[in-house]
């Protein structure tokens, strides 16, 4: 298996950081845009799409600022890959951005970025910022 490559994306979101944080850090918020349903038991989050589910472990979070997960499958394979969503506020313009850090195979990079584009598009619709 080839090494995955780390990448970072930035999305400007018309939302307060507090509201945005609710949508990236809670099962109910994530199930509005990230997957069809999300369940959590402690630090284990189960993301459900149609007829598949993936488990991710909550690695860290800082209230109002960021949340970081690792897919259990990656952890079981001994990989350090993670995905993180971080809220960044421009000190001058007060523009709110959502910074996404993720990993992808080189030949799947375009698809991975497009998937995040689509998901963040869903998030913006839910927030009324599209």
Question: Range of 94's domain?
Answer: 5-125
Please indicate, yes or no, if residue 57 is contained in any of the structural domains. Answer: yes
Residue 120 placed within a domain: yes
Integer Cα distance of 66 and 7 in angstroms: 17
Cβ(55)–Cβ(39) below 8 Å: no
Which pLDDT belongs to residue 17? 96
Structurally, the chain folds into a number of domains equal to 1
Helices (H) and strands (E) in the chain, counts: 4, 7
Q: Is residue 88 assigned to a domain? A: yes
CATH at 83 = 3.30.530.20
Q: What is the pTM of this model?
A: 0.94
pLDDT digits (tens, 9 = 90+) for 11-33: 999 999 999 999 999 999 999 99
pLDDT bucket at 129, cuts 50 / 70 / 90: confident
Per-residue model confidence as pLDDT tens digits over 53-103: 999 999 999 999 999 999 999 999 999 999 999 999 999 999 999 999 999
> CA neighbours within 13 Å on the CB side: how many for 21?
13
In a domain, 45, yes or no: yes
């Amino acid at each position: 298996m080839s090494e995955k490559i780390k990448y970072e994306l930035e999305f400007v979101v018309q939302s307060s950081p507090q509201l945005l944080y609710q949508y990236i850090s809670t099962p109910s918020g994530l199930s509005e845009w990230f997957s069809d349903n999300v369940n959590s038991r402690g630090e284990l989050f189960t993301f459900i799409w149609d007829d598949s589910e993936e488990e991710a472990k909550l690695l860290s979070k800082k209230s109002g600022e960021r949340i970081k997960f690792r897919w259990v499958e990656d952890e079981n394979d001994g990989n350090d890959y993670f995905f993180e969503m971080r809220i960044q506020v421009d000190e001058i313009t007060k523009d709110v951005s959502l910074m996404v850090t993720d990993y992808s195979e080189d030949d799947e990079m375009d698809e991975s970025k497009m998937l995040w584009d689509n998901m963040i598009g869903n998030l913006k619709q839910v927030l009324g910022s599209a």
